[in-house]
């Protein structure tokens, strides 16, 4: 596999790069981006232009500000809840999603402005945090395996090929994987090539959503979507991404306040043009890094592609995404999870710390919010002698 920034000297310059490896790493988070965007567009009939423009602008901004492969992802709990059968039966639609985007942004701006986010993060001990990171990696790997299971032999071959290519730093493994994936998609769907060649750019500016947003939309989105997402965002897209960035790029550290602030700002801006809730998921950075990204250039590249796609190809996004088969997205997710799980390997020498890490990781596979609470309780329980781990 490609060496991580931990095992190679960090570049002295903190300027963003746009070489072939940054291009390859830019696509390392497609495994989470594409499925959720497709669900919002097809199930809730949301405007693809507004969603993609919001992602594009946010990625360009964080890549420019942080100068690391800083990710921007859909919020998973909100995405799953808003397109699920129970949400549809309750009548939750695109208005509630946009309301959740706005209320999420305001929550995180408040957490950043009051300093409460940083105070809360200081209560989480390092073994618990490492356990959350490791558990998130396991959950990504499991989801990747689920996606690959539909075509196990094909996906297994792609995974093996990608692992071989990742051990050759000069080869942009992701770009090779995407080309092969597109060829597989065209072979499996004979009409796809004609659909792709028939695509024509057509400018579309997203409409402003605040004018049609009601107080009911905001309240419903806040209660049923934003609040349940908050513990997951705190663990994955706030604590874990800060830890992962500062572990991989100690020369370009980020602060808890800045991560909370950018989470808030990008969601408020996203709600303005009908976008969906977004976060800085740690798995996204793992995916970018796994496939070669070392600077914010990868985030800017992906952001520019999504921005142009939202402005000129929004009516064809569904067709374009057909070129990324589930087997390829599963491989991407699996390897991103592997990279992320490796971030929790610093188990320390104390058995109690190793227990906290591993047990917290197990809970994180199920529920990140509960994992954070368990990790805190287990850590202080072992420190105070309330919980004894056998020798």
Tokens for 167, please give them. 């051990």
pTM of the model: 0.86
Tokens for 274, please give them. 């009908």
Q: What is the pLDDT of residues 373-382, one digit of tens each?
A: 899 999 989 8
pLDDT at 120: 85
Tokens for 195, please give them. 């659909």
Of 33, 72, 142, nearest to 364 by C-alpha is 142
What share of the chain in percent tops pLDDT 90?
Answer: 60
**Contact (CB, 8 A) for 254 and 246:** yes
Q: What is the pLDDT of residues 180-210, one digit of tens each?
A: 999 999 999 999 999 999 999 999 999 999 9
C-alpha distances (whole Å) from 344 to each of 54, 137, 203, 347 are 31, 9, 45, 7
Q: 337 vs 265, which has greater pLDDT?
A: 265
What number is the average pLDDT over the span 122-138?
Answer: 87
Alpha carbons 228 and 215: distance in angstroms, whole number:
19
What share of the chain in percent tops pLDDT 70?
Answer: 92
Q: What is the pLDDT of residues 146-177, one digit of tens each?
A: 999 989 999 999 999 999 998 887 888 999 99
pLDDT at 90: 61
Residue 10's pLDDT band (boundaries 50, 70, 90)?
very low
Alpha carbons 110 and 193: distance in angstroms, whole number:
48
Alpha carbons 132 and 140: distance in angstroms, whole number:
12
Domain assignments of the chain as residue spans, ordered by start: 20-127+148-325
């Amino acid at each position: 596999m490609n060496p991580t920034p931990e095992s190679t000297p960090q570049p002295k310059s903190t300027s963003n790069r746009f070489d072939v490896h940054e291009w390859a790493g830019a696509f390392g988070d497609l495994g989470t981006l594409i499925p959720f965007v497709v669900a919002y567009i097809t199930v809730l009939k949301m405007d693809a232009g507004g969603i993609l423009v919001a992602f594009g602008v946010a990625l360009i901004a964080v890549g420019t500000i942080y100068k690391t492969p800083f990710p921007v992802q859909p919020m998973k709990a909100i995405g799953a809840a808003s397109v699920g059968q129970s949400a549809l039966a309750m009548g939750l639609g695109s208005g509630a999603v946009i309301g959740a985007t706005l209320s999420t942004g305001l929550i995180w701006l408040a957490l950043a402005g009051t300093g409460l986010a940083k105070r809360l993060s200081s209560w989480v001990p390092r073994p618990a945090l490492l356990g959350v990171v490791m558990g998130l990696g396991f959950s990504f790997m499991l989801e990747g395996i689920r996606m690959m299971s539909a075509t196990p032999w094909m996906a297994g071959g792609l995974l093996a090929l990608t692992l071989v290519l990742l051990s050759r730093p000069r080869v942009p493994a992701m770009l090779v994987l995407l080309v092969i994936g597109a060829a597989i998609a065209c072979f499996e769907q004979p009409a796809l090539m004609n659909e792709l060649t028939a695509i024509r750019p057509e400018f579309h500016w997203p409409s402003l959503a605040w004018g049609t947003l009601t107080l009911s939309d905001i309240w419903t989105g806040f209660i049923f979507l934003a609040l349940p997402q908050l513990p997951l965002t705190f663990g994955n897209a706030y604590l874990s991404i800060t830890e992962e960035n500062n572990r991989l790029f100690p020369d370009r550290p980020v602060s808890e306040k800045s991560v909370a602030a950018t989470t808030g700002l990008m969601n408020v801006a996203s709600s303005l043009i009908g976008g969906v809730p977004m976060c800085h998921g740690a798995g996204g950075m793992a995916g970018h890094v796994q496939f070669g990204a070392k600077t914010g250039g990868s985030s800017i590249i992906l952001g520019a592609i999504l921005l142009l796609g939202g402005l000129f190809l929004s009516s064809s996004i569904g067709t374009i995404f057909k070129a990324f088969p589930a087997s390829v997205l599963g491989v991407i997710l699996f390897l991103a999870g592997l990279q992320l799980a490796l971030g929790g390997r610093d188990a320390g020498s104390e058995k109690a710390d190793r227990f906290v890490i591993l047990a917290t990781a197990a809970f994180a596979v199920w529920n990140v919010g509960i994992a954070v609470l368990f990790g805190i309780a287990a850590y202080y329980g072992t420190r105070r002698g309330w919980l004894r781990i056998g020798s």
